[in-house]
Amino acid sequence: MDEVKIGEILEPGSDDRRRSREERVRAQFWKTVRKAAKSIPFLDEVIAAYYCALDPNTPTKVRGILLASLAYFVLPFDFIPDLILGLGFTDDVAVLMAALSAVRSHITPAHRAAARKALDDFDRN
């Protein structure tokens, strides 16, 4: 995926678009995490990014970038459909890595602690 497309995906967009993405992410995030768990080696950072994106104290632009990348992650049909075994999450990984690189400094220890707890709970179920 080239830089232009990643830039378009990570564009925060309008407040309406951000709210729509947030609803989509909230509705589909954990279901997608279950499917992608073995495909994404930095899943703990993705979950921390989820908590950061939903944190009202996170700057609006950062929330927009994270919600855009997480919305791309939860969509089953994207550049490479997630249904393709072995390849389906490769484009999602590229988008998530770009977003995390751009906003990593805004992911707090509290977001990471929430992610660790969620992963512990996830592993038990």
Greater confidence (15 vs 54) lies with 54
Query: Looking at 16-20, 32-36, 72-76, 82-86, which range is the least confident one?
Result: 82-86
CB 22 within 8 A of CB 67: yes
Q: Which of 15-19, 44-48, 111-115 has the lowest mean pLDDT?
A: 15-19
Q: What is the pTM of this model?
A: 0.78
Would the pLDDT of 25 be above 80? yes
- Which three-class secondary structure state does DSSP give residue 99? helix
Amino acid identity for residue 106 in this structure: H
Distances (CA, A) of 94 to 3, 68, 70: 10, 13, 12
For residue 55, the tally of other CB atoms under 10 A from its CB is: 18
* Boundaries of every domain in the chain: 3-124
Q: What local confidence, expressed as pLDDT, does residue 111 receive?
A: 96
